[in-house]
A and B are shown apart, each in its own frame.
Chain A
Amino acid sequence: MNTHPLAGAAARLKVNIEEKSFRSSNGATIQVLRQLRFEVEENEFACILGPSGCGKTTTLRILLGLDQDYRGSVQLPGKSQARMGTVFQEPMLLPWRTVEQNVRLALPKELRGANLDALFAQLGLSNMRSFYPAELSLGLARRAAIARALAIEPDILLLDEPFVSLDEPTAQQLRHLLLFVWSERPTTALMVTHNLQEAIMLSDRIIVLSDRPAHVLGTFDIRLPRQYRNEQVKADLLRSFNEKFAGIRNLS
């Protein structure tokens, strides 16, 4: 399918969710997503931004195939079965396996023997390959989770607030690391966040979601390459974002 003339179209993430609802314990139905439609281009880094509890994680779970009880359709990039590199909100490393085992276990068969030295070095994990996850700080565990997501050479990278509950310097360091390893081998990426600064720093496009039931309020494209986004530019971007989405107070 990759050699097909329409490969570009196939490499795109298309989300078209008509409706997704949960049944609460008292029997009421809560609608979480309604007519949620967006696309992410090949090798584009997109962020989903929205108020907490609006259904961002639910959207990601649908993309991951963990929740199939919804109406609508989702088209993942890549071959018939897209390889999905995922960083969950919690690192979700197997506590009884070392960092390296955790990464290798996720590898598809043809990559099982792959040399991971470069990846571990890029993420500063070279000395921690034989450590158990409980011996790592949260920041290091997140790095290991990122290493696992990238080691499989994914067709799409899905990140669920990977920098949440870290102190700001650590989070910032990790954002730079993520950008660095991602730009070595760009792939279609979708990150869920509620941090606007983070989204402005990392993404090519910000998809802004409404409150529940979530739908797309609008998108904010950032065409400027990341290396030119200095503090001044980011402040300008922030201002123009706020002008465009003036009605939404709780985002900034």
Chain B
Amino acid sequence: MGPVATETGQTLNNSEPADGVRRWNSSLMIVLSFAVLLVAWHVAATLWPSRSFPAPLLVLQTFLSETASGDLPYHLAITLWRVAAAFFLAMIIGSVIGVLLGSHRRADQFFNPWLILFLNIPALVIIVLAYIWFGLNEAAAIGAVAVNKIPNVVVTMREGTRALDARYAEMAKVYRFGALDQLRHVLLPQLQPFIAAASRSGVSLIWKIVLVVELLGRSNGIGFQINLFFQLFDVAAILAYTLAFVAVMLFIELVVVQPLEHTSTRWRRRAA
């Protein structure tokens, strides 16, 4: 047994620095890529100067003044809270429905047409109907966004449930795992790649729909502000608000999502 232990130990030590170098390289690539885009934008804006196509520096100035006045942080925070609320609502409800449909063939056959129906209702229709039926309030806004996302989560999680390995469930049954242990140690780790896929596509979709919701029936948030600046033809402000939000999302991706994913899949990485 001794030789096996050292052998595996060495592989581990070798793989970690290589991993670090790869991560450093990839972040360098991200920075470089954005720098090139910025330069191209600046050159284009200098060659064709126009009020409707501001240079990056003007956008930055607008961003700073809007931040100083407190407007941008306020609206950004409101939008972020709506995105987060709709996201968790959609993920939880969608996952539960998806797992149920994936594990019950009859229920899946019955509800599949409903799913197709909801997948194909335009976001705008759901939002308008939610505002008409439930009033111009926060619950209707967040609910409408969640309802738009739920069918996508259901489809992904249903696939994930179909891909479950029944032998793990049998092992858990023989060893009498409790319900919570089965969820934490058997079900969720198997569904993890599907949860990750659903969340990835989820956040970007939800943020786009939240803007529409804010534009149509809220008096704050980035969507409301963009509508305002649209009426003023203030493109610099529109871009400042958009980029600020995108930057926040990028930050969350790099600081929260990727390390989390790294931790939850380390058993797979180390095996390689």
Task: Mark A residues whose CB is within 8 Å of B.
Answer: 64-66, 84, 86, 88, 90, 92, 94-97, 101, 105-106, 108, 124-125, 127-128, 131-132, 134-135, 137, 140, 148, 152
Contact = CB atoms under 8 A, between A and B. Distances in A.
A134 B174 contact: no
B4 A84 contact: no
B24 interface: no
B260 to A, nearest CB: 14
A96 B5 contact: no
B189 interface: yes
Given A96-B264, A106-B177, A128-B5, 11 more contacts: A84-B174, A88-B167, A94-B189, A95-B271, A97-B189, A97-B267, A105-B175, A105-B177, A124-B1, A134-B270, A135-B271
B185 A97 contact: yes
Nearest to B170: A66
Interface in B127-185: 167-168, 170-171, 173-177, 181, 185
A27 to B, nearest CB: 19
Nearest to B167: A92
Interface string B214-230: 00000000000000000
Given A94-B189, A131-B8, A88 B171 contact: yes
A73 to B, nearest CB: 19
Contacts of A124: 1
A124 B3 CA distance: 12
B186 interface: yes
* B contacts with A: majority SS: helix
A84 B170 CA distance: 13
Interface residues of B, number: 23
B5 A127 contact: yes
A114 to B, nearest CB: 15
17 contacts: A64-B170, A86-B175, A88-B171, A94-B168, A94-B189, A96-B185, A96-B268, A105-B175, A106-B177, A108-B176, A127-B1, A131-B8, A132-B267, A132-B271, A134-B268, A135-B270, A135-B271
B171 A92 contact: yes
Given A96-B189, A97-B185, A124-B1, A132 B167 contact: no
Contacts of B1: 124-125, 127-128, 140
A111 to B, nearest CB: 12
B193 to A, nearest CB: 11
Interface string B174-211: 11110001000110010010000000000000000000
Nearest to B186: A94
A90 B267 contact: no
A7 B16 CA distance: 56
B31 to A, nearest CB: 33
A101 B176 CA distance: 15
